[in-house]
Structure 1
Amino acid sequence: MSVHVVMYSTAVCPYCTMAERLLKSKGVNEIEKIRVDLDPQVREAMMQKTGRRTVPQIYIGDTHVGGFDDLSALDRAGKLDALLASA
């Protein structure tokens, strides 16, 4: 699947790992990871863009999904596949 997925993450983040695993199980081959633990300016930019402080912060196409809990809730509601297909 060639959908563009961006995930703000850190080196040690179990929720980032779980989000990546879920996305890969849905056929997402490539996830652009932006490490916010390497540069405080990148974390600040993430917070400005998302309004959130925690990682992961996931974008599917132009849609801000949120964190792993949000991603998982989308999947449970049966809406993740449609979002991935439309992005």
Structure 2
Amino acid sequence: MELNLLFAALATFFLNIPFGYIRQGFRKYSVKWFVAIHLPIPFVVLFRHFFGLGFQLYTYPIMVSAFFLGQFAGKKLRIYIDEKKEVTDIKKDQQ
């Protein structure tokens, strides 16, 4: 059961990275921002079902943490890529 929880948490984490990346590009509290956060939730429920977790109370902290860490990692990835792109654009303009 614990291995299934780990796999479900990893799947949740990796699923949320692109959604966090997309979310960073939208204005905070806009409809698109809200959708980018909530659209992966049905997939997380499917992961829980697929990995046979059910809805035991001890799984919630791990799954919720994986969800928000994936969103956070996607956000940080977007910030890093945007900053890197700005630096290369500045270098191109200086040449």
**Same topology, TM > 0.5:** no
* TM-score normalised by structure 2 residue count: 0.30
Larger Cα Rg: Structure 1 or Structure 2? 2
**Higher helix proportion (structure 1 or 2):** 2
Q: Which has the higher contact order (CA 8 A, sep 6+)?
A: 2
